[in-house]
Amino acid sequence: MRFGVLGPLAVWTDAGAPVRVPEAKVRTLLAVLLTEPGRPVPVDRLIDALWGDRPPRNPLGTLQARVSQLRKALEEGEPGGRGLVAARPPGYALDTAPEAVDAGRFMAALGREAADPLARKRLLGDALALWRGPAFADFADAGFARTAIIELEEARLAALERHAQARLDLGEHAAVAAELAAPAADHPLRERLHALHLRALHLAGRQGEALAGYHALRERLAEELGADPSPELAALHLSMLAGDGVPPPRPAPRLPAALDELIGRADAVERGRALLAEHRLVTLTGPGGVGKTRLAVEIAARSLAEHPDGVWMVDLAAVDDSADDDTAGGVAGQVARALGLREESAGRPIADALRGRRALLVLDDCERVLEPVAELAGRLLADAPGLRVLATSREPLGIAGERLQVVPPLDLPGRDASPDALREAGAVRLFVARAAAASPGFALDGGTAPWVAAICRRLDGLPLALELAATRVRALGVRELAARLDDRFRVLADGRRGGPARQRTLRAVIDWSWDLLTAPERVALRRLAVHAGGCTPAAAEAVCGTGVEVLARLVDRSLVVRTEQGRYRLLESVAAYALERLREAGEEDEFRRRHAVHYTGLAERAAQGLRGPEQGHWLAVLDEEAANLGAAPAGGTGFRLVNALAWYWYLRGRFEEARRAFTAALSAHPQASPARTEAATWLTAFTMLVGEGVDSEELRQAALAEHDDPLARAKAEWLLSHVHWAYGDLAMNERRVDRALAVFQERGDRWFTAAALATRAKLAVGHGDLASMERDAVRSAALFAELGDPWGRLEASDALVRHAEITGAYTEAARLLRDGLRLAEEMGMWPEASFRLAGLGRVALLTGALGEARDLHERALDLARRHMARSAEEFAEVGLGLVARARGDLAAAEAHLRARLGWLRGIGGTAGIAFVQAQLGFIAEERGDAAAALALHTEGLAAARAVGDPRGIALALEGLAGARSLAGEHGAAAGLLAEAGSLRAAAGAALPPAERRDVERIAGRIRGASGVVAKDGGPAPPG
C-alpha cells in the first residue's frame, strides 16, 4: 500500500487503485501518523491533533475507535492493510517503509547523486513530479503538520534549485528562466533561487530583466532584512554588468548512496540533526566500527533541506599522513577536490567558495589528521558564517564551538531471550537483517534466539563486528559462530570485500586505532585488558600503573568507555585485542598476578565490612567487581580469595558459583593448612545448600573432623548447623550450636554470638520449647540491631516469625515477613527473599486467602530455583502442596509434596520428612484410602519421634487418628487425638483455629459414629 502527502492526503493500493478513507477524524489520524511513518506517535500527541483543547469525555477510548476505523478502511482497500496501523509504545505507528510514502521517495531521491547533469536532471525531475500540490494540502493549517510541511517545502525548493542548476548546465536557459519565475515571486527573499533565476535570464539574452531583478532583490533585502546581497549575488551582478559569463556552476552535493537500511539509529539521527541545527560544528565520536560514517551520511541526507547551497562529504582517511609537513596541505587538497576546486593552498579558495553559502561539510575519519583538520575547520567556520561542519572521529577535534555526539554501540538484548523480546534490541535487528541477507532462509526463532543474543552481547553491539559475524552464519550457523567468538579475530577475518581496508576485518578496525596511540597509551591499554568487567581509577593505578590522565586520553580516543558510575572498561573485542598485545609484550603473567593481589585484598577488606552496618556498601562493591573477582584466581592467591568471598557468595545466594570456586581451589592446593581447612568447611556448607541427595549430617561430621583451633571449630560448627538447621540430626545441631555459642561468648564476639542465638532459636522449634525460642530470638535481634547488620536482622526475625505463626499471631507474623522481604530485596539477598515470600504465603493460607497464598508461593519457588537455593525451594513447593490441598486439588497437592520427598530423604531431612508424610497421609485419608493413610502416618510418626519434636509427633498422631477412624476404629482414633492434644498443650503450642481443619474433620467423623463428645469439643475416648 502507498501513501501520498505531497498534495492532498491520498492512499493507493500497490496496484495503483485509490483507497477511500472516510470521516475527517480518521483522515486526520492517518495524516498525523504520516508525519513520521514507521515511528510511533505518542497517544497524547494524537489526541491533541484530533481534538485540540476539546477532547471527548473518554479520549483514549475514542482514539482507539478511530484507530479501528482506520484499520478497517485500509483492510478494505487491500488485504493486510489493517496490520499497517500498529500499537507501539508510547502510541501508534504506521508500520510502513519510507519508500511507501511519496515524501519518503522524494527525500531518498534528494540523497542520491548522479554523475552528469542529464542524469541529475532526470533524477530530480522525477522527484519533483511526485508533488501533486502543497505538502499536506488538506491540513495546511493544522499544528501537527506544520513542521513536516516546512521541512518538505524547504526540501522541494532545494530540489527545484538543484534541478534548475542541472538544466542550466545543459543549456536550457530560457526554460529555466520561465520555470523559476513563479517560485522566485513566491519566495522574494530566497537568494539562492533568485541567483539561479537571474543567471537563467542573463544567459537567455534577457540581460535587462536580469539586472532589474537584481536591483529589486537588493531593495527588498535592504527594506525587509536590513541586509545587502550575498557575495555570490554581488559577484553575479558584476559579471552581468561586465557582460561576462556568469560564475561556473557550484559543485553538486556529494554523499555516498546507502547500500543498506540504517538499523537501530533512528534516535541518533534525530539527535544529530537537532545538534546540527543548533551548533555549527558537531563531531560524531565512538570506537572503530560503531558506524559513525554511516550515521553521518544519514544525518546529512536528512538535512539537505537545511543546507540548500550544498552538502559534501570528504574522506580524510585517504590523506597521506606520513609526512607532517604535507599533511595540512593534503587535508585542504582533499576538501578542495570534494568541492570541485582546483586550488587548495592554505585553504583560502575553499573559504571563498563556501562564503555566503548555507552548506554542510562532512569531514569523515578525522582521527589520523586531527590537528590539520581542526585548524582548517576552525578557519572555514570563521570565514563562512553559513557553513556547518559534521565530523566523524575516534576522538574530538578539540576546537571552540564543537559539540560531541558520542555514538555508542547498538543496544543489546535484555534477559528475555524470546524472539519478540530480542527484536527490541538494535543489535539483534541489525545482525538478523544482515544474516538473512547473507544466508537465505535464516530467521530469528526459538532455536536461534539464544545464540543470536549471545553473539550480540559478545560483540558488544558493535555494528561492524555484527555485520562481519553475519557473513559467517551461512558457513557456521549461529550456535557454532557463538562458540568460536573466543577466537573472534580469525573468525571475523575475510568477511567482506569492498570498502576501506581498515574496515574489512575486526582486527583491522582496532589496528587503525592502536596505530594512533602514543607509547604510554599503548602500555596502559594492553595492561587494562587483565581487568574483567572494567575497573575503578584506583584499580587501574594499582594494577596497571595507569593514571587518570592516560585513561582520559584513551576515553577521548574511544578505546576505553567511562561508565556513569565512573568505571573504565574495554569493549570485549578491544579487550581481546589488548590481551594479545599484552602477551606479545611478555607482561601477561606479571599483570595477572598484580590483578589477583589487588582484588584479593579488596575481597578481604570487604569480608570484614560484610558483618555490620557497611554490609550494603560492600555487597554493592563486590557486585560491581564480580567479573574481576571471578578472574582473579588465575593470578594465584591460594585460599585467600575464596575464603574472603565466602560470606558474600552466601548472602547473594550464589551457592553453585561458590561450590565450583572452592572445589577448584582445593584441587589446586592439596597441602594441609588452616586456610585449606576453612575452605573445606565452606565447600561442605555450599554443597549442603545446593546438593542433591547428599546426607547433610555425614558431610558435617567429615568437615568438622579437620578442625583443631577452638574458635575456628566453633565458627564451623555454627556455620554447618546454620545452613541446614532443619535437616540431619537436629539434636546434634543444637549441641553444636550450644558449644559454638559458649566459645563466642567467652571470646566476646558479639556478631557470632547473635548469629548462634538466632540459629538456636530456630532449633528450639524441634523440641517445642517456644519460651526458649522467643528468648533467644529477641536477644539475637537486639544484638544485630546494635551491630547494624541487615542480614542479622533478617536471621533473628525468622525465629520470631515462626513463633508468631505457631501461636496464631498472624498479623504480627505478616508484619515481620513484609519488613524482612523489603530488607532482603533492598539488599539483594534473594534466598532470604524467597523464604519470606513463602512465609507470607503460609500466613495467607492460614487466613483463608488461598489465591494470594498460591501466588506468593509460586513467586517464592521461582526465585529459589533461579538462585539454586534448595532449602528455599523445598519450603516454597511444600507450601504450594498445602495450598493445593486446601483448595481441594489433591492430585496437585500430592505432586508438589512428593517432588520434595526424595530430596529430603537424601539429605537426612527428618523433620521435613515427618511433615510431608503427614500431609500425604491426610491426602490419602481424604481420598478414602485408609491403608495408605495408615502407612504414611506410621512412617511420619517414626520420623517425628526421631527428631523429638512434640508438634511433629502430635501431627502424626492426628493423622493416625484420621486413618483409624476411616477404618472404623473410632475409639482408637479418639485416643490418638487426645494424646496429640496433650502433647501440644505440654509444649505450650495448642493448635490455632486456622490449623484445626484436619482435626475437626476427623473429630466430626468420630462424633458421627459414636455420638460422644469430650469437654473440649473433640471426641471422648470410650470409657
Q: Are 13 and 78 in contact (CB under 8 A)?
A: yes
Highest mean pLDDT among 703-712, 977-986, 1011-1020: 977-986
User: For residue 219, what pLDDT is reported?
Assistant: 87
pLDDT at 920: 94
- The residue among 339, 363, 362, 367 whose CA lies nearest residue 351 is 339
For the stretch 897-906, pLDDT in tens is 998 888 788 7
Q: Which of 302-306, 588-592, 719-723 comes out lowest in average pLDDT?
A: 302-306
- For residue 299, what pLDDT is reported? 93
Question: pLDDT tens digit string along 684-693?
Answer: 999 888 875 5
Short-list 331, 309, 311, CA closest to 320: 331
**Distance of alpha carbon 47 from alpha carbon 475, whole angstroms:** 51
Write down the mean pLDDT value for the chain. 87
What is the SS3 assignment for 381? helix
Residues near 986 by Cβ (< 8 Å), separated by ≥ 6?
A: 768, 950
Q: Residue 346: what pLDDT?
A: 45
Residue 500 pLDDT grade (very low, low, confident, very high; cuts 50, 70, 90): low
Q: How far is CA 767 from CA 426, 731, 740, 954, in A?
A: 60, 9, 20, 12
363 phi/psi in degrees, rounded to 5: -100, 110
Could you please report the per-residue DSSP string of 515-583? HTS-HHHHHHHHHHTT-SS-B-HHHIIIII---HHHHHHHHHTTSSEEPTTS-EE--HHHHHHHHHHHH
What pLDDT, on the 0 to 100 scale, is given for residue 250? 46
Tell me the HSE value of 150 on the side-chain side, using a 13 A CA sphere. 8
Q: Is the pLDDT of residue 636 over 70?
A: no
What is the C-alpha separation between 836 and 798, in angstroms, rounded?
9
Region 707-712: mean pLDDT is 86
Predicted confidence (pLDDT) per residue in 372-416, tens digit = 999 999 999 988 888 999 999 999 999 999 999 999 999 999 888
Among 300, 40, 35, residue whose Cα is nearest residue 150: 35
Q: What confidence score (pLDDT) does residue 135 get?
A: 93
pLDDT digits (tens, 9 = 90+) for 434-475: 999 889 889 999 999 999 999 999 999 999 999 999 999 998
Q: What is the pLDDT of residues 1008-1020, one digit of tens each?
A: 886 544 444 444 4
Residue 695 clears pLDDT 70, i.e. is over it: no
Q: Residue 757: pLDDT above 90?
A: yes
Average pLDDT over residues 743-770: 91
The pLDDT assigned to 495 comes to 54
Return the top range by mean pLDDT from 7-11, 88-92, 149-153.
7-11
Name the band, by pLDDT with cuts 50, 70 and 90, for residue 342: low
**Average pLDDT in the 623-641 region?**
83
pTM: 0.67
CA distance linking residue 46 with residue 144, whole number of Å: 9
Dist CA 465 CA 504 (whole Å): 10
Q: Which residue has the higher pLDDT, 660 or 323?
A: 660
pLDDT at 1015: 40
pLDDT higher than 60, residue 345: no
User: What mean pLDDT do residues 582-605 have?
Assistant: 94
Which pLDDT belongs to residue 210? 86
pLDDT at 506: 87
Average pLDDT over residues 504-525: 90
Lowest mean pLDDT among 83-87, 168-172, 905-909: 905-909
Average pLDDT over residues 494-505: 64
Determine the pLDDT at residue 503: 66
- The per-residue pLDDT for 321 is 65
* pLDDT score of 1013: 43
Task: Give the CA angle between residues 498, 500, 505 to the nearest 5°.
Answer: 80
Reply yes or no on whether the pLDDT at 694 is more than 70: no
C-alpha cell at 237: 551582478
For residues 191 and 525, the model is more confident at 525
Taking the C-alpha atoms of residue 796 and residue 780, their distance in angstroms, rounded to an integer, is 6
Taking residues 858-868, report their average pLDDT: 89
Quick one: 826 exposed, middle or buried, by C-beta within 10 A (0-12, 13-18, 19+)? exposed
